[in-house]
């Protein structure tokens, strides 16, 4: 267990001290990479793998690595706010799984239930800590980056997804630019990662092209809330197998769409098509998004369908005399996928579509024509 005198001696001599300690000494909500989003689904996946039903509860896997500024750092004076740099996911997974067990077993009179809860207590009271002397935010970041890379080989849930890496690279670049007062080129960012980071073979290599793509994805996707919702939705359904979990696919969508509105339409279309079962997530490959000599790019096709909808609603139906009020409503309910699914064709069938009963029969036929020719808001 932790001993302050032994800690000071070890930190002076070795720059490192390994001991047992209380799980809650760490700053639970702190992160060495603030701003990079975490996904609850992946944390719970890891939790089920490590601590799920039927698993023996013995210890928290991997050490909790904490950085201190100097060998005489008053560790005990900072209990609850120690700077953890090892990946957050195993610690968060333990908390969520323990909370589930408490909710499930707290009233269970079976002796095994009480034993399981007591084992959680033992785990939290005696975790393996590694204290290291490291100074500065820059050193903290690289230690955290390299520790995460080491763990990716063991737990896929801690591997960054494409859009998480876009956040991480962009935010790192911004932080370095604020620190130095000068803009950084893609090559300079790449050089920093190649000289300070040890990227796992299970992660994408940090090359100049990769950095450039990641920065573009961050600017054109991660800064648009509706596009982030698409990334989250597809990942919630398909985890790391999401068709958006490659820099190349995200880059193609950016290159193949005219502007942010069309990009939003295309990505929401893909999510909608997968959810409705009209497209298989695994089928949405680089080749499908790009197109070829004998096939049309999926991005181009989906944009064309949006243009067809717009032309029908803004020009053709006006000429053909579709009721003005009905037409105004149609434009509103087909403006995006969420509106279409809420007002016209919901997935779960419980939306209020009674407004359609107030439309003229000819108007209903016009709306069905849009759906038949352009796939409606589902873009099918």
Residue 177: pLDDT over 50: yes
Query: What's the pLDDT score for residue 375?
Result: 59
Instruction: State how far the Cα of 83 lies from the Cα of 30, in Å rounded to an integer.
Output: 7
Average pLDDT over residues 72-88: 95
Q: Which of 159, 180, 195 is the last residue of a domain?
A: 159
Considering Cα of 337, then 338, then 341, then 343, what sign does the dihedral take? negative
pLDDT tens across 330-353, in order?
A: 898 888 888 888 888 777 666 677
Q: Which of 130, 159, 188 is the last residue of a domain?
A: 159
Query: What's the pLDDT score for residue 209?
Result: 96
Average pLDDT over residues 360-374: 85
Q: Which of 159, 174, 203 is the last residue of a domain?
A: 159
Confidence of residue 110 (pLDDT cuts 50, 70, 90): confident
In a domain, 40, yes or no: yes
Query: What's the pLDDT score for residue 349?
Result: 66
pLDDT tens across 256-290, in order?
A: 999 999 999 999 999 999 998 889 999 999 999 99
Per-chain mean pLDDT for the chain: 91
Query: What's the pLDDT score for residue 380?
Result: 39
Confidence of residue 99 (pLDDT cuts 50, 70, 90): very high
pLDDT tens across 183-228, in order?
A: 999 999 999 999 999 988 888 899 999 999 999 999 999 999 999 9
In a domain, 209, yes or no: no
Listed in sequence order, the residues at least 6 apart from 366 whose beta carbon sits closer than 8 Å to its beta carbon are 312, 317, 320, 322, 326, 327, 330
Confidence of residue 378 (pLDDT cuts 50, 70, 90): very low
Residue 374: pLDDT over 70: no
In a domain, 164, yes or no: no
Judge whether 220 and 263 are in contact, CB under 8 Å: yes
Residue 67: pLDDT over 70: yes
Instruction: State how far the Cα of 166 lies from the Cα of 319, in Å rounded to an integer.
Output: 47
In a domain, 219, yes or no: no
Residue 181: pLDDT over 50: yes
Total structural domains within the chain: 2
In a domain, 320, yes or no: yes
Average pLDDT over residues 352-370: 87
Question: How much of the chain, in percent, has pLDDT values that exceed 70?
Answer: 97
In a domain, 232, yes or no: no
Query: What's the pLDDT score for residue 119?
Result: 94
Residue 379: pLDDT over 50: no
CA within 13 Å, CB half, 1: 6
Judge whether 232 and 162 are in contact, CB under 8 Å: no
In a domain, 249, yes or no: no
351: domain range?
A: 300-378
In a domain, 81, yes or no: yes
């Amino acid at each position: 267990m932790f001993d302050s005198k032994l800690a000071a001696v070890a930190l002076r001599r070795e720059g490192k001290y390994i001991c047992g300690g209380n799980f809650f000494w760490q700053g639970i909500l702190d992160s060495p990479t603030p701003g990079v989003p975490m996904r609850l689904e992946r944390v719970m996946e890891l939790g089920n793998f490590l601590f799920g039903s039927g698993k023996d509860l013995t210890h928290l896997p991997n050490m909790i690595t904490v950085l201190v500024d100097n060998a005489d750092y008053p560790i005990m004076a900072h209990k609850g706010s120690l700077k953890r740099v090892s990946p957050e996911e195993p610690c968060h997974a333990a908390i969520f799984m323990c909370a589930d067990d408490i909710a499930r077993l707290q009233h269970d009179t079976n002796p095994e239930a009480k034993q399981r809860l007591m084992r959680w207590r033992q785990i939290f009271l005696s975790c393996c800590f590694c204290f290291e002397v490291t100074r500065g935010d820059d050193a903290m970041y690289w230690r955290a980056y390299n520790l995460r890379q080491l763990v990716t080989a063991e737990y896929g849930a801690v591997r960054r997804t494409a859009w998480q890496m876009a956040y991480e690279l962009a935010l790192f670049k911004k932080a370095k630019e604020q620190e130095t007062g000068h803009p950084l080129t893609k090559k300079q960012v790449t050089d920093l990662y190649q000289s300070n980071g040890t990227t796992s073979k299970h992660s994408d290599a940090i090359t100049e092209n990769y950095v450039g793509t990641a920065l573009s994805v961050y600017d054109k996707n991660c800064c648009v809330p509706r596009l982030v919702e698409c990334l989250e939705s597809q990942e919630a359904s398909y985890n790391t197998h999401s068709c958006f979990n490659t820099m190349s696919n995200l880059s193609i969508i950016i290159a193949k769409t005219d502007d942010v509105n069309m990009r939003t339409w295309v990505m929401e279309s893909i999510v909608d098509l997968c959810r409705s079962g009209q497209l298989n997530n695994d089928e949405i490959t680089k080749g499908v998004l790009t197109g070829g000599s004998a096939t049309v790019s999926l991005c181009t096709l989906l944009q064309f369908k949006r243009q067809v909808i717009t032309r029908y609603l803004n020009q053709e139906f006006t000429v053909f005399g579709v009721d003005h009020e009905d037409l105004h409503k149609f434009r509103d309910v087909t403006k995006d996928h969420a509106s279409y699914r809420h007002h016209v064709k919901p997935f779960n069938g419980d939306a209020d579509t009674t407004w359609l009963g107030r439309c003229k029969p000819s108007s209903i036929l016009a709306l069905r024509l849009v759906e038949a020719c352009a796939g409606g808001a589902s873009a099918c």
